[in-house]
Structures are given as C-alpha cells and as structure tokens.
Copies of this chain bind each other. A is one copy, B any other.
Amino acid sequence: MRLTQHTDFSIRVLIFLGVHPDRRCTIQEIAHGYDISRNHLMKVVQKLAAAGYVASVRGSGGGLTLPRDPKDINLGDVVRRMEPDFGMVECMREGNDCVITPACKLPPVLAEATRAYLDVISRYTLADLLATEDANRMRLLLRSG
C-alpha cells in the first residue's frame, strides 16, 4: 500500500517552502535540493498551485511561496487533494470488471479503513513537520548551490 510519488513530492515541495519562509524558491532549486526530476516537479507544483497550496510569482526574482501559515495547511487535505484516487481495489475504481461487485461487502470495509487513515493524517498540519530544530536540520540536509 503506497501513496503516489506525486503526493510524496507535493509534501516535499511544501516542506521546502516551509523551511525557507523568508524568500521565494524556484522549482529548479527545489528539484536540485532533493535531487529529483525538475519535469516531474513542475506537474506537482502546477497542481499544488491550482489547489491554492503554493503561490507563484513569475519572472526575474519570481518563485514559489506558501500563501498560508503552515499551521493552516492540513496534511490530510493535502493528501486528499493530491492523491489521484483512493480506489483501494478494482471495484472502487472506474473500469471495474469484478463480477461479484453487486453483492460484495469488501468495498465498505476498505472505505471505512481509508477514512480512518485520512482522519489520522488530518490531525497534523505542515507546521507539525516544521518544528524549529527539525526545520533547521532539513534546511541543512537539502542540497544547495
């Protein structure tokens, strides 16, 4: 059971912006900081921007910032918005071919479990990942230059 890389990278972008609250950050430096693909990150940032999780200023001196206080960025909401689906098994997704679907009681069990999963994550905000000491350490761990 996994989240998509898209959601993983979304949270990394928010952390990067959160540990650099004093300035704008470029996609290039975030990709370099984590040593991950800039192209992949562009799609992630587009979706984060569309969902209102990052603000973007174009042009020279432009870049990305967090438009909200990290304590107002709920991690459960981020996962809900960034994850493409929570179709834990085939019958919970489009294009389902499982023949027993009309009589099967597995989907409500998995849906209840997924709600419990998201409820736990929703107890945390981005601020919980950015305690001063952790944020300072993460800033130093990111690749620079």
CB distance from A91 to the nearest CB of B (A): 9
A8 at the interface (CB under 8 A from B): yes
Chain B residues, CB < 8 A from A102: 137, 141
Query: Interface size class for chain A?
Result: 35 or more
Check A2–B87 contact: CB distance below 8 A.
Answer: yes
Check B88–A143 contact: CB distance below 8 A.
Answer: no
Chain B residues, CB < 8 A from A12: 98, 100
Check B137–A124 contact: CB distance below 8 A.
Answer: no
Chain A residues with a Cβ under 8 A of chain B: 1-5, 7-8, 11-12, 15, 33-35, 75, 79, 83, 85-90, 97-106, 109-110, 112-114, 116-121, 124, 128-129, 131, 134, 137-138, 141-143
